[in-house]
C-alpha cells in the first residue's frame, strides 16, 4: 500500500509456534485461548512478519524472519513451517533479489527476527543481502553474543554474526534515511528498537515485540519472554495512545491474521480498529486451524 511517497508491503517468512504461556505471560490460559487456539503441545502459531519499505531511492527490509538454518530438532520444537511461503519466495514474488535490498533493520536479534540475515553457501555462512547495510542497536548485539541463562535460547549467533562486517551499531534513536527512524523501546529486551516510517504526514510504526500481535494491545497482555515487563507496560501506556491519536498504521511482528491495524483509544484502553484478517497476507490462512478468531 501507499504511505505518502513510500510504498509499504508486509509478508511473512512462513510461520512458527511458541508455547502459549510464553506468548501471553501472566494472562491465564482460559482468557487467551478464547482468542487464539493452541495445539496438543500447547503451542500457538504465529507469523514472522517482515516489512518492506520502498522509498524513492532505497529498499528497506525490517526484520528477516526465522530463516532456514535450524537443525531438525529445533525446527520441530518451534514448528517452523515454510511450506506456504518464505522470505526468499516473497522477495521473488515482488521481482526483488537480495541484491536489491539496501538497508536491513533488525528490531532485536532474537532468532525469529534475524533468521535470514545470513545464509549458507557451501560450508560457509555469508550475508544474505550482499549490498545492504544492516542496522541494530549496539547494546542488543552485545547482549546477543553473551546472553544470560534466562534468554540464551532466544539467540543464535550463526543467524546474525555472518553479517557483522555490514552492520552499523546504533546507540539510541536515529533517522537512517529521511522518513525512516528507529526508536529504542526497552521492555522485551533492554535495547529493542521500533521503526517509525513517515511520509507526507502519513505514519506507520513497526512496533516489534512491544505488541507482537493485536491481541497484545491490552496493557497487561505481554510476552513471558520480556526481560523488563514493567518497562514494556510503561512504553505501551505511553506509545499506544499516541499511535492511536496519530492514526498510525501499526505493524505487528507475529500476527497471523493481519500484519497491521490502526488503533483507537476508548476509556483508557487501546484496541485495533481493523480486526478483520487482511486478505492475501498469508497464503493458507483460511485452512489454518490456528488462525486468530475475530471475536473482539
Ligand atoms: Zn523477541
Any idea where the domains of the chain sit in the sequence? 2-272
At residue 60, the pLDDT reads 98
Ligand 1 centroid – CA 67 distance (Å): 15
Ligand 1 centroid – CA 64 distance (Å): 13
Ligand 1 centroid – CA 128 distance (Å): 21
Q: For the chain, how are helix, strand and coil distributed in percent, rounded to 5?
A: 25, 30, 45
Burial of residue 295 (number of CB atoms within 10 Å: 0-12, 13-18, 19+): exposed
Ligand 1 centroid – CA 151 distance (Å): 10
Ligand 1 centroid – CA 222 distance (Å): 11
Ligand 1 centroid – CA 123 distance (Å): 28
Please name which of 294, 292, 277 lies closest in space to residue 44, comparing C-alpha atoms.
292
At residue 120, the pLDDT reads 96
Q: What is the pLDDT of residues 164-196, one digit of tens each?
A: 999 999 999 999 999 999 999 999 999 999 999
Ligand 1 centroid – CA 188 distance (Å): 7
Ligand 1 centroid – CA 143 distance (Å): 13
**pLDDT band for position 293 (cuts 50, 70, 90):** very low
At residue 287, the pLDDT reads 37
At residue 281, the pLDDT reads 72
**pLDDT band for position 290 (cuts 50, 70, 90):** very low
pLDDT > 90: what percent of the chain?
A: 91
Residues 6+ apart with CB under 8 A from 208: 107, 108, 113, 185, 188, 192, 193, 194, 195, 253
Q: What is the pLDDT of residues 228-269, one digit of tens each?
A: 999 999 999 999 999 999 999 999 999 998 999 999 999 999
Ligand 1 centroid – CA 190 distance (Å): 11
pLDDT > 70: what percent of the chain?
A: 93
**pLDDT band for position 143 (cuts 50, 70, 90):** very high
Is the pLDDT score of 157 beyond 90?
A: yes
pTM: 0.94
Is the pLDDT score of 217 beyond 90?
A: yes
Domain 2-272 has CATH 3.40.50.10140: no
CA distance linking residue 61 with residue 228, whole number of Å: 27
**pLDDT band for position 274 (cuts 50, 70, 90):** low
Q: What is the pLDDT of residues 24-66, one digit of tens each?
A: 999 999 999 999 999 999 999 999 999 999 999 999 999 999 9
Rounded to an integer, the average pLDDT of 134-156 is: 97
Ligand 1 centroid – CA 189 distance (Å): 8
CA distance linking residue 73 with residue 81, whole number of Å: 13
**pLDDT band for position 275 (cuts 50, 70, 90):** low
Ligand 1 centroid – CA 108 distance (Å): 7
**pLDDT band for position 289 (cuts 50, 70, 90):** very low
CA distance linking residue 185 with residue 206, whole number of Å: 11
User: What's the first-to-final CA gap in the chain, in angstroms?
Assistant: 26
Average confidence score pLDDT of the chain: 93
Rounded to an integer, the average pLDDT of 98-127 is: 98
Ligand 1 centroid – CA 131 distance (Å): 26
At residue 286, the pLDDT reads 45
Ligand 1 centroid – CA 5 distance (Å): 30
Q: What is the pLDDT of residues 57-67, one digit of tens each?
A: 999 999 999 99
Amino acid at each position: 500500500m501507499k504511505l505518502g511517497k513510500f510504498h509499504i508491503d508486509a509478508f511473512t517468512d512462513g510461520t512458527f509456534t511458541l508455547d502459549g504461556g510464553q506468548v501471553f505471560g501472566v494472562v491465564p490460559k482460559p482468557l487467551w485461548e478464547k482468542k487464539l487456539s493452541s495445539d496438543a503441545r500447547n503451542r500457538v502459531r504465529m507469523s514472522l512478519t517482515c516489512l518492506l519499505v520502498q522509498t524513492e531511492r532505497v529498499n528497506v527490509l525490517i526484520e528477516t524472519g526465522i530463516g532456514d538454518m535450524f537443525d531438525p530438532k529445533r525446527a520441530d520444537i518451534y514448528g517452523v513451517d515454510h511450506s506456504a511461503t518464505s522470505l526468499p519466495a516473497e522477495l521473488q514474488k515482488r521481482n526483488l533479489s537480495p541484491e536489491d535490498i539496501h538497508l536491513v533493520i533488525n528490531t532485536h536479534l532474537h532468532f525469529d527476527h534475524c533468521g535470514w540475515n545470513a545464509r549458507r553457501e557451501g560450508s560457509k555462512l555469508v550475508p544474505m543481502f550482499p549490498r545492504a547495510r544492516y542496522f541494530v542497536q549496539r547494546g542488543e548485539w552485545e547482549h546477543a553474543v553473551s546472553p544470560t541463562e534466562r534468554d540464551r535460547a532466544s539467540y543464535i549467533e550463526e543467524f546474525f554474526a555472518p553479517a557483522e562486517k555490514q552492520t552499523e551499531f546504533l546507540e539510541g534513536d536515529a533517522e537512517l534515511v529521511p522518513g525512516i527512524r528507529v526508536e529504542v523501546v526497552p521492555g522485551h529486551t533492554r535495547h529493542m528498537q521500533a521503526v517509525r516510517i513517515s511520509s507526507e504526514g502519513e505514519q506507520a510504526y513497526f512496533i516489534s515485540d512491544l505488541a507482537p500481535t493485536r491481541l497484545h494491545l491490552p496493557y497487561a497482555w505481554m510476552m513471558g519472554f520480556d526481560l523488563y515487563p514493567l518497562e514494556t507496560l510503561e512504553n505501551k501506556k505511553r506509545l499506544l495512545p499516541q499511535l492511536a491519536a496519530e492514526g498510525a498504521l501499526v505493524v505487528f511482528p507475529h500476527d497471523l491474521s493481519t500484519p497491521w491495524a490502526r488503533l483507537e483509544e476508548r476509556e483508557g484502553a487501546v484496541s485495533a480498529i481493523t480486526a478483520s484478517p487482511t486478505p492475501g497476507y498469508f497464503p493458507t490462512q483460511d485452512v489454518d486451524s490456528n488462525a486468530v478468531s475475530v471475536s473482539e
